[in-house]
Amino acid sequence: MDAHEVIRRLGGTAPYDVVVTHATQASLRRAVREGRVLRLSRGVYGLPELPVPAAAAAAVRGVVSHVSAARIHGLRVPTAPSSVHVTVRPGARPPVLPQVTVHWSRLAPSDVTDGVTTVLRTVLDCALTLPFGEAVAVADSALAEQMLVKSDLIVAAYAQPPRRRGRCVRVAEAADGGADTMFESFTRALLVDAGVGGFVTQLPVLLPGFTVHVDLGDPYRRVAVEAEGFEYHSDKVAFARDCERYTELAAADWLVCRFTWAQVRFRPEWVVDVVRRTRGLRAPQPRRHLATPRVATGVS
């Protein structure tokens, strides 16, 4: 059998000894010379049409994982990875390849599908290796897309080995599928991480004639936090709508804090301080004009 066909039938990658079991060495050399097969690393061959993460994982005899797996699953990743993340078995000695980050961990068969860690395993791995805000954004998107159920995520987090458990549990408990965007997830995580809790994601507020959903709302102090992405305010209609929205919120006795992505990313201490000071202007009061909220994790 032709070496290219052997590798194709094996899923796109194969070790040398498996290839030459079904094809001749001459066939393999010819396929490599013609560019129909690539030598990914010593003793590992693959097809040139392989996606980059899959090729990198095959080259080190591992599986795509962490943020690279998150991107494959379509989860929200605040920062694009600069390398392909791959997990190999403990004790493995993979070749050192440029732009490949290797993690050593024991994976159960149920942790991997088609050479990529599952959504659940990926969220837990990201909880362990990413900054808290980015890990929460990944977990939020898995819940929002109904790829995971929060109770399952929490159970899996508590079942992790002791060295992984603390960070995994913290992210799982903070995760909220109600977040509408990655920016909202990151902003909420920033406040939770600072011990500023009591906010509800996409809180509905009844105003005269219509209802608005604030990104984060404290229903007992009537304080809203809005994560302002430029793409939602880039035309006259959107600008006019937002002016009406915030004017009506002010008339309904709401205090609104509005932050840009750059402020949340690069001035986090200031963002937290402003929210704390704004909440401090109001003593908790009975809820009114609100739907029943889901209070986010944190310290009020």
Q: 167-223 pLDDT, tens per residue?
A: 999 999 999 999 888 889 999 999 999 999 889 999 999 888 889 999 999 999 999
pLDDT at 18 (0 to 100): 84
- In this prediction the pTM is 0.77
% helix / strand / coil in the chain, to the nearest 5? 45, 20, 35
Angle at CA of residue 222, ends 219 and 224, nearest 5°: 90
Q: Identify the CA nearest to 211 among candidates 252, 239, 170, 171.
A: 252
pLDDT at 17 (0 to 100): 84
Position 299 confidence tier, pLDDT thresholds 50, 70, 90: very low
Q: Rounded mean pLDDT of 16-24?
A: 88
Q: Identify the CA nearest to 197 among candidates 219, 167, 213.
A: 219
Whether the Cβ atoms of residue 185 and residue 143 lie closer than 8 Å to each other:
no
Q: In angstroms, rounded to a whole number, what is the distance separating the alpha carbons of residues 212 and 217?
A: 11
Q: What do you get for the CA distance between the two ends of the chain, in Å?
A: 67
Instruction: For residue 20, count CB atoms less than 10 angstroms from its CB and return exposed for 0-12, middle for 13-18, buried for 19 or more.
Output: middle
Instruction: For residue 151, count CB atoms less than 10 angstroms from its CB and return exposed for 0-12, middle for 13-18, buried for 19 or more.
Output: exposed
Whether the Cβ atoms of residue 239 and residue 233 lie closer than 8 Å to each other:
yes
Q: Rounded mean pLDDT of 34-43?
A: 85
Paired sense of beta strands 63-64 and 200-207, if any:
unpaired
pLDDT at 254 (0 to 100): 93
Bridge partners of 210, per DSSP, are: 207
Q: Which residue has the higher pLDDT, 174 or 9?
A: 174
pLDDT at 60 (0 to 100): 92
Quick check: 291 pLDDT over 70?
no
Quick check: 83 pLDDT over 50?
yes
pLDDT at 293 (0 to 100): 46
pLDDT at 300 (0 to 100): 38
Quick check: 247 pLDDT over 50?
yes
Quick check: 294 pLDDT over 90?
no
Half-sphere exposure of 119 (CA within 13 A, CB side): 19
Q: Rounded mean pLDDT of 289-297?
A: 47
Q: Which residue has the higher pLDDT, 79 or 166?
A: 166
Q: In angstroms, rounded to a whole number, what is the distance separating the alpha carbons of residues 169 and 159?
A: 9
Alpha carbon distances (Å) from 6 to 42, 49, 273: 18, 15, 61
Q: 262-286 pLDDT, tens per residue?
A: 899 889 999 999 999 999 998 877 6
Give phi and psi for 107, each to the nearest 5: -110, 130
Position 232 confidence tier, pLDDT thresholds 50, 70, 90: low
Q: 134-168 pLDDT, tens per residue?
A: 999 999 999 999 999 999 999 999 999 999 999 99
Q: Rounded mean pLDDT of 217-246?
A: 80
Percent of the chain with pLDDT over 90: 59
